[in-house]
Amino acid sequence: MKRLITRVWIGSLIVLVFLSPMVCAMDGNAVLNKVDEVLSASTTSVASATMTLVDRGGQARERGMVVWTKHFKDKDDWSLLKFTSPAELRNLGFLSLADDQMYLYLPAFDRVRRIASTARKESFAGSDLSNDDLSTGKYTHHYDARITQETETVYVLDLDRKAGSDRIYARVRAWVDKERFTVSKMELYEDTDKLWKTSEMVHEQIQGYWTPVQITMKDVTKDHTTIMKITEIAYDTDLDDSVFSTRYLKRNVKVD
């Protein structure tokens, strides 16, 4: 009897040992939630950046910008972007708030325009980034995720747009670092499941936060590329909520 009990106990222990990795394994939505947490890890950030547009012939146009962001753990982040150069784009701005509220400021007309859901696909200032790409809604609010591939270092997620979401990409494939929960690459698909864009990201740890210091977005249907590079960033700065308003959106930016 004692031998039988011992064998049963050992057998149960072996089963638990082999099953424990499965029990502890993350599913796709848990991984996606970690990605959102990394993206919103700081309280605020102020960044200077360049946006370079490269056409199929290799011709490049560069723009300068400043981006203010306020992060939240339990709701969508807030973000304000203002161009600083070239002169014809200076002060053009984009404001993204919670619940998919997005606003565009056109300095030539001194006018703030609320971006309708029908305009989410529109290119932002001639770049490969759409109005939708600049929105700050968390991935978990708009997509369900499943792990389709896995290596020792990477999760490959397939994100399917939730019913009722107005995100422009019906499906997204994302490569997520298992240790950092940063995304190194994304494939973005149209409603017809045709590949529309690709995005590649380079991350560096700045002030303890994993930061996408370079984002390369390519529209494969147009063979056109936009490269966003952060040249300077400060985290956890004292940003008043008034920064994220249509009134502030109309303010002129200082140019050094």
Residue 32 belongs to domain with CATH number: 2.50.20.10
Whether residue 192 lies inside any domain: the answer is yes
Tell me the pTM: 0.87
Whether residue 194 lies inside any domain: the answer is yes
The residue whose two tokens read 């045709």 is: 194
Whether residue 165 lies inside any domain: the answer is yes
The letter for the amino acid at 101 is Q
For residue 35, the model assigns a pLDDT of 98
Whether residue 139 lies inside any domain: the answer is yes
Whether residue 231 lies inside any domain: the answer is yes
Q: Give CA–CA dist 237/76, Å, rounded.
A: 19
- Residue-number span of the structural domain to which 175 is assigned: 27-67+117-239
Of the chain, the end-to-end C-alpha distance in Å amounts to 85
For residue 33, the model assigns a pLDDT of 97
Whether residue 196 lies inside any domain: the answer is yes
Whether residue 184 lies inside any domain: the answer is yes
For residue 225, the model assigns a pLDDT of 98
The letter for the amino acid at 148 is T
Cβ contacts of 116 within 8 Å, gap of 6 or more: none
Sites in the chain below the pLDDT cut of 50: 4-6, 8-10, 13-24
Contacts 24+ apart (CB under 8 A), 26-30: 26/147, 26/155, 27/146, 27/147, 28/144, 28/145, 28/146, 28/147, 28/155, 28/157, 28/158, 29/140, 29/144, 29/145
How many structural domains comprise the chain? Answer: 1
Whether residue 18 lies inside any domain: the answer is no
